[in-house]
Amino acid sequence: MNGDSLLIHQPTRLSIMAALSTLEEGAKVDFTFLSEELEVTEGNLSSHIRKLEEAGLLNVEKVFVDRKPKTWIALTARGRQAFSRYVEELEKIVRGAGQGEL
């Protein structure tokens, strides 16, 4: 496992990516809502989202709604691909694939 998959493998980031992958393409979720759903503190969630954003896997959009700041989080196309690849890799590892005679 390496690159994007290793980044995604961290449990909190995995739950973020998995939650977003269940949405239809292009859909976005509110940061506060995501924090509550995943039961992750906003500080913790924020730091993991930043890492995923820096890797180009998430898109973060800050807007004002009724003069209040709101943050939308969405999977990028690359993020969706990376998550699919991660799941495939993980399935192989879990099945013990590639271990020859074992």
How is residue 4 written in tokens?
């994007």
Choices 9-17, 41-49, 51-59, 74-82; region in contact with its own copies by CB under 8 A: 9-17
Minimal distance, residue 52 CB to its own copies, in Å = 15
43 makes contact with its own copies (CB under 8 A): no
74 makes contact with its own copies (CB under 8 A): no
Choices 18-26, 48-56, 61-69, 71-79; region in contact with its own copies by CB under 8 A: 18-26
Buried b (16+ CB within 10 A) or exposed e, 44-67: ebeebbeebeebebbbeeeeeeee
Strand partners, 69: 64
Distances (CA, A) of 48 to 43, 45, 55, 100: 9, 5, 11, 36
Residues contributing to the site for its own copies (CB under 8 A): 1, 6, 9, 11, 14-15, 18-19, 21-23, 29, 34, 37-38, 87, 90, 93-96, 99-102
